[in-house]
Chains A and B, each alone.
Chain A
């Protein structure tokens, strides 16, 4: 890979890749997991965090009896770009009560994708507000179910009251080429920000 990079060699294991993280947010059922999986070279990557109802991480069973615990599941995908670079896509937890996890997921991320479902556009507002308020570069991908492109991007932009500078594009979360376009849109945005000194 070109560019200023120090590749760490781990004896015998090959280079340890540098990593990029992209957060994929959006309402329940909007297509986050589908998008995360579309380009992933490994199927069904899924990890969990066990939390108490007070949203405290559980690392120790002592005292857990009697506390109700819940499991926050994260779907994620891995895309190897080359020997020195791996991109990880992490889907945010579906339920709103797990939105506290967004902070951890967004920390150190390159940017985010908000997957919008035209049947439930309002479900995107939380994610859009979150990234806008924290200055996280993001794009909105309007997931067109069953290949329908019945909505014009401009109409969705108005309905979302989305700032002009936020890229919005139609996509099919199941389609590799379509998801590539979404990632390209996001990385291009980050490049523009980098070049403008933002």
Chain B
């Protein structure tokens, strides 16, 4: 077991990660700016490809927009592995990935005021 953070009971590094790592082995990781943890991933509706179960799972999850972090969380794959699998799916045209402009530039005052209103309404 790797030292450090706690892990679920009985979780074995080897058994749960060998399979997804075998899909990503040898590949370079895509740049973080393409797949920031909040980037939204959406499955292209017309796509119904024959893919590995791990990729099929991601495609099913992203029927509605999900962040990269949520994809990693729901699949249980580490972030690095998730990014590589998403890069594959993006390359093959099975998903689209959108990173918000608000990661590059602060939202304008009108947007911030609306955000304040929405938070109050929660």
Contacts and interface: CB of A to CB of B under 8 A. Distances in A.
Interface of A: 1-5, 8, 10-14, 16-21, 39, 42, 45-50, 57-62, 68-74, 76, 78-79, 81-82, 85-88, 90, 95, 104-105, 107-108, 110, 176, 180, 183-184, 187-188, 190-191, 193-195
A48 B6 CA distance: 11
Nearest to A41: B122
B80 A49 contact: yes
B7 A71 contact: yes
B50 interface: no
B38 A108 contact: yes
Nearest to B121: A81
A4 B111 contact: yes
Contacts of B24: 59-60
B60 interface: no
A70 B70 CA distance: 21
Given A59-B80, A108-B38, A187-B115, A47 B72 contact: yes
Contacts of A104: 32, 37
Contact of A184 (B18, B83, B119): B119
A42 B115 CA distance: 20
B64 A13 contact: yes
Interface of B: 2-7, 13, 17-18, 21-22, 24-27, 29, 32, 36-40, 42-46, 63-65, 67, 69-70, 72-73, 78-84, 96, 98, 100-104, 106-116, 118-120, 122
A1 to B, nearest CB: 5
A73 B38 CA distance: 16
A13 B36 contact: no
Nearest to B112: A191
Contacts, number: 184
A193 B37 CA distance: 25
A169 to B, nearest CB: 15
Given A19-B40, A70-B5, A194-B107, 7 more contacts: A8-B98, A18-B100, A19-B39, A71-B2, A72-B5, A108-B36, A110-B107
Contacts of A69: 2, 13
Nearest to B101: A18
Given A110-B107, A195-B109, A17 B37 contact: no
Contacts of B82: 47
Given A1-B111, A3-B108, A180 B120 contact: yes
Nearest to A191: B112
A74 B69 contact: yes
A1 B42 CA distance: 21
A25 B80 CA distance: 22
A177 B46 CA distance: 42
A190 B106 contact: yes
Contacts of B32: 104
A188 B21 CA distance: 43
A20 B118 CA distance: 13
